[in-house]
Amino acid sequence: MIGKTFSITENKVTRTLKIVGEHLAYGRRFYAVEDSISPGKPHDFEADAFDRRFKVTASTRFKQRVFTARHRQLQ
């Protein structure tokens, strides 16, 4: 996903969004996105909402593992 560019047209104004980076915060994935309206200043977008909006299927850098351990009582 990093390096891809998307275009949005809202109110007859076209904006381009370029994904610059990806990071984890507060238990969620976020994309650092550079907007054509304010270049050089990356903004954070929630990755899942961004993926849903642009219907993107891509692998991530961060593997989300399911907790599979069982509770064991110590004696």
The pLDDT confidence band at residue 10, using thresholds 50, 70 and 90, is confident
- Residues 75, 69: Cα–Cα separation, whole Å: 18
pLDDT tens per residue, range 24-64: 888 888 999 998 888 888 889 888 888 888 775 556 566 65
Question: In terms of Cα–Cα distance, which of 19, 45, 41, 42 is closest to 30?
Answer: 45
- pLDDT for 34 equals 92
C-beta atoms surrounding 14 within 10 Å: 9
- Give just the sign of the alpha carbon dihedral 19, 20, 22, 28: negative
